[in-house]
Structure 1
Amino acid sequence: MQFDLPEETLMIRDTVRQFVTKELLPLEAEFDYEESNLPDERRAELRKKVDDIGLGGMFVPEEYGGAPDIGHVARTVVQEETSTTLVGHGAFGRPITEGLYQCNDEQKEKYLLPVLRNEKRSAFGITEPISGSDPSMMETNAEKRGETYIINGRKTFISTAQGCDFMMLFARLKGTEGRSGITAFLVDSDLPGFTVERQIPVIGMPSGSVTASPSEVSFDNVEVPASNVLGEPGHGWRVLQGSLGGIRLGFGARCLALATRCLRMARDYSVRRVTFGRPIADRQAVQIMLADSAIAIENLRWMTYHAAWKLEQGRDIRPEISMIKVYGSETLQMVADNAIQIHGGLGLSKDLPLERIYRSARTDRVVDGPNEVHRWVIARNMTRGYWFPGGA
């Protein structure tokens, strides 16, 4: 079995790593990542620099004007390298919600292509006050009247809702229950009745950013043309299931990158910091924290890249994606916590990024499905005979 990355992928990795070190990491001192994201104009400058080194458009399919396909493994390498920084990591682009690729030709011109060209922002509207982990309980409804759907309801914890141009909204056809009847709509944010009620202050997310913090959104008799149904009416569950895999794979790369950064900081500090005449790296308590962190990071690395490889082979990775969601978020929080402990009081200060990473990791255990739900998904796949570790 061949575990080494191809030479071409290593060259891409080294180029991205140099760019991150030179262009992105210095931005952490320039911008307060606690208060806001990078301004749009600064983000555009970074994208231009990425294009200049020949690495632009790697998350955009070639048929839509993107770069030649480098494969899921190489893209995961890029996501790991760019996720090392807390600021500007979107310069290389990122996977969009895969459900948008199900647009018909007319919808592609109006929604998909402008998103790929960074001309429009989209939001993903699924979570509701009583239906987060179980979308089949959603109450937002759509009633068809002629060639129009009238949508009423409320969504919550919707990322990028503030400032979005449209939302991929999931609602149930009136009179239906459970998964049946759930339909995906492309809803323009300037339609009457589409209201972003408020931003929700959330641990680990920039409170001053108009795009990063999640929001509550209400829909009061919003009239959406029937032509804005994504896919087929009543088949929104299928659109939803096809919208998450690639994004969650990138989640594993992000957790891996930040955990590695925390461990490197902890190791370096433990070697420099001297107490009672010896570096704290010689203390068994510190060694255990360093070793446990290294073991978990290596586990996450193989888990993430094996899933990327399987996806590249066209294989189903849904159980692995849930495993990555659980293990990635819990590994990142454990490693960040160990790094803070090793740094002592310095680790608690905002002079270092550790406390920021720790708070973000705590958020990761809840967003995109709480870890308990993903554990249930893994166990259900095993007990029903759909999947077993190692394929046995």
Structure 2
Amino acid sequence: MQFGLNEEQQMIVATTRAFVENELFPHEMEVERTGHLRMDLVREIQKKAIEAGLYAANMPSDVGGAGLDTLSWLLYERELGRANYALHWTCVARPSNILLAGTDEQRQKYLYPCIRGEKWDCLAMTEPGAGSDLRGMTASARREGTDWVLNGTKHFISHADIADFAIVFMASGEEETPRGRKKLITAFFVDKGTPGFTVREGYRNVSHRGYTNAVLEFDNCRLPESAILGEVHKGFEVANTWLGATRLQVAATCLGRADRALQHAIRYAAERRQFGQQIGKFQGVSFKLADMAMELKAAELLTWEAAWRFDQGSVTEADMSMAKLKATEVLAMIADEAIQIHGGMGLMDDLPLERIWRDARVERIWEGTSEIQRHIISRQLLREHGA
């Protein structure tokens, strides 16, 4: 494992950072204060991102993406993560890797238009009564002849309002396991406008202003067999195969925001004077900076090692959980301490710190709560001893 970045990775970091600072930062205040991301602005930035080769860069080169290795992709994600979430996620979209599991026909209809910036996707798993426990979902799919009929509700579905289609996971049967009966899950493509499929406005969220969530309702929504992604009853297998690195993606974007907050804190500590000297010379502030820098470095190393292991084929669930857990909790700590160093100014929206502080909260919840990550880590430790 090499700790230095190669020439290509340095170029990726420099190009992405310049794009973020020149094309995304100038629009942050508008999105933060209005809570809305204008579609004309989306299209303007999207066009520039495509021209810069940054759009859908997470995808393999054989389908039109950048073909980045995992570490290079996460370095790119870290730079994008510095900006307002709605801006970088919507305007510089990274279609879900689960689209790669589709058939040739499904790729033509869904994958390639997303890579070209003609469509957006959204992923629907969570329900009002089933968050971390996906096996507890009640939204169902039942077979009727050659069709499938979907019923139920999904919520907290990110950017579903602008998505052209949803990848929806539904309970499609049951199986006996050593721990009792458990539900079988099947994944479906559902196009906007399909009869029986309704997208409703979701909840107001203190984190990631402008980045919306929605409630999806299915009322006898009929789909053909061709709408199935993967195999019948194999939805979890599809998700586990293609969505494994999303925890690393969350970690990487958190690293970008944490570094931005830290840099603000360092500059302020060096410039702000109280009692005749720079506040950074007071131990109460200097020790905070030292701890922030150390914890960020630790989170980075965990994330980069997991990325390296991912490409080596040796990554474990615990590796990715450790990276996600550490990065999200370090972001929360750094955001809070950066505000403390700035004092009252840290809570004013003239600076990005109060936004980074608010945004940090959701990171310990989505893509698996901190408690779930700890469960995954401890489970692997105990399995080695037969527990």
Structure-2-length-normalised TM-score: 0.92
Give me the whole-angstrom Cα distance separating, in 1, the residues matched to 2:101 and 2:58: 16
Matched, 1:7 2:10: no
Give me the whole-angstrom Cα distance separating, in 1, the residues matched to 2:323 and 2:276: 41
Match of 1:20 in 2: 20
Match of 1:263 in 2: 262
Mapping of residues 141-220 of structure 1, within 5 Å: 141-174=140-173, 179-206=182-209, 209=210, 212-220=211-219
Stretches of structure 1 lacking an aligned partner (at least 5 in a row): 388-392
1:128–1:53 CA distance, 2 compared to 1 (3 A): closer
Q: Aligned AA for 2:79?
A: E
1:159–1:56 CA distance, 2 compared to 1 (3 A): closer
Superposed CA RMSD in Å reads 2.2
1:170–1:102 CA distance, 2 compared to 1 (3 A): same
Instruction: Tell me the SS of whatever aligns to 1:183.
Output: strand
**Following TM superposition, by how much is the alpha carbon of 1:147 offset from its aligned partner in structure 2, in angstroms?**
1.1
Instruction: Tell me the SS of whatever aligns to 2:245.
Output: helix
Matched, 1:79 2:77: yes
Instruction: Tell me the SS of whatever aligns to 2:155.
Output: strand
Contact 2:135 2:182 in 1 (8 A): yes
Mapping of residues 321-360 of structure 1, within 5 Å: 321-360=320-359
Contact 1:55 1:92 in 2 (8 A): no
1:361–1:314 CA distance, 2 compared to 1 (3 A): same
**Following TM superposition, by how much is the alpha carbon of 1:57 offset from its aligned partner in structure 2, in angstroms?**
4.8
Instruction: Tell me the SS of whatever aligns to 1:334.
Output: helix
Percent same amino acid at aligned positions? Answer: 37
1:159–1:287 CA distance, 2 compared to 1 (3 A): same
1:112–1:19 CA distance, 2 compared to 1 (3 A): closer
1:163–1:52 CA distance, 2 compared to 1 (3 A): closer
1:366–1:378 CA distance, 2 compared to 1 (3 A): same
Stretches of structure 2 lacking an aligned partner (at least 5 in a row): none
Name whichever of 50-59 and 367-376 sits farther off: 50-59
Give me the whole-angstrom Cα distance separating, in 1, the residues matched to 2:75 and 2:83: 14
Structure-1-length-normalised TM-score: 0.91
1:261–1:130 CA distance, 2 compared to 1 (3 A): same
Contact 2:58 2:68 in 1 (8 A): no
Give me the whole-angstrom Cα distance separating, in 2, the residues matched to 1:52 and 1:265: 31
Match of 2:298 in 1: 299
Contact 2:56 2:95 in 1 (8 A): no
Instruction: Tell me the SS of whatever aligns to 2:223.
Output: strand
Match of 1:314 in 2: 313
Give me the whole-angstrom Cα distance separating, in 1, the residues matched to 2:167 and 2:297: 36
Q: Aligned AA for 2:170?
A: A
Instruction: Tell me the SS of whatever aligns to 2:262.
Output: helix
Match of 1:227 in 2: 226
**Following TM superposition, by how much is the alpha carbon of 1:156 offset from its aligned partner in structure 2, in angstroms?**
1.3
Mapping of residues 268-287 of structure 1, within 5 Å: 268-287=267-286
Deviation by residue 1:274-316 (Cα, 9 ceiling, x = unmatched): 1111211111111121111111100011111111111122223
Q: Aligned AA for 2:12?
A: I
